[in-house]
């Protein structure tokens, strides 16, 4: 029978895990991408403004990658194993999911292959959609790997 983690310990672990700087970088990263995408889609920007909005999220991307590296260097062997498990599962399942979506997109966007039901918008796999699929699969793989090793 696995021993349960006392609530106080779990809360302390959670608080330790929530590093303010990491959180700020992640929030800034997500916000900058969302704002940047919204601006780029507005269709009202000049060429110079387009370039600026393309460049805005890049510092956050670089900071995010640096933070990730820092986390991996500071992690102990169990944490590394959980991330390794998650990466391995997520890579395979992201490929499978994207291939299925790609095939579905091809099937529904080529009218002579499968007739699209009337009134439905065409199914299109965008860059953002692909990225979200990857992130979602990785998050699920991480949760699975963590549950397997640590429980809860």
Partner 1 sequence: MKNRLRSFRAERHWTQADLAERLGVSRQTIYAIENERYDPSLPLAFEMARLFGTTIEGLFVYEAPSR
Q: How far apart are the C-alpha atoms of 68 and 98, rounded to whole Å?
A: 25
137 CB neighbour count, 10 Å cutoff: 21
> CB–CB of 63/29 below 8 Å?
yes
Minimum CB distance to partner 1 smaller for 47 or for 77: 77
Instruction: Looking at residues 48 to 67 of the shown chain, list those that interact with partner 1 (rule: CB under 8 A).
Output: none
Provide the mask over 91-130, with x wherever binding to partner 1 is found by CB under 8 A and - wherever it is not.
Answer: ----------------------------------------
Q: What is the DSSP letter of 113?
A: T
User: What 8-state DSSP symbol labels residue 27?
Assistant: H
Contact 83, 75 (CB under 8 A): yes
Q: Binding segment for partner 1 among 28-36, 45-53, 97-105, 142-150 (CB under 8 A)?
A: 142-150
Specify the residue, 87 or 109, whose C-beta has the smaller distance to partner 1: 87
Minimum distance from residue 76 beta carbon to partner 1 (Å):
4
- Distance CA(51)–CA(72), nearest Å, equals 33
- The answer to whether residue 5 forms part of the interface with partner 1 (CB under 8 A) is yes
What binding mask, one character per residue, do residues 6-35 give for partner 1 by CB under 8 A, x or -?
---x---x----------------------
Compute the distance between CA of residue 50 and CA of residue 33 in angstroms, rounded to an integer.
Answer: 13
Whichever of 80 and 106 has its CB closer to partner 1, that residue is 80
Chain centroid to Cα 24, Å, comes to: 17
Phi, psi of 21 (to 5 degrees): -65, -40
Q: Is 85 in the site for partner 1 (CB under 8 A)?
A: no
Q: How many residues bind partner 1 (CB under 8 A)?
A: 14
- Chain residues binding partner 1 by CB under 8 A are 2-3, 5, 9, 13, 76-79, 81, 148-151
């Amino acid at each position: 029978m696995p021993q349960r983690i006392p609530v106080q310990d779990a809360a302390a672990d959670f608080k330790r895990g929530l590093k303010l700087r990491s959180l700020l970088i992640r929030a800034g990263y997500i916000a900058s991408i969302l704002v940047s995408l919204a601006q780029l889609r507005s269709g009202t920007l000049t060429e110079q403004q387009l370039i600026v909005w393309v460049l805005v999220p890049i510092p956050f991307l670089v900071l995010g990658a640096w933070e990730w590296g820092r986390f991996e260097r500071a992690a102990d062997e169990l944490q590394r194993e959980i991330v390794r498990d998650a990466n391995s599962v997520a890579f395979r399942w992201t490929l499978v999911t994207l291939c299925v979506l790609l095939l579905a997109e091809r099937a529904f966007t080529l009218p002579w292959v499968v007739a699209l039901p009337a009134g439905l918008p065409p199914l299109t796999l965008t860059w953002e959609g692909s990225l979200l699929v990857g992130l979602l699969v990785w998050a699920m793989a991480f949760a699975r790997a963590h549950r397997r090793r640590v429980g809860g």
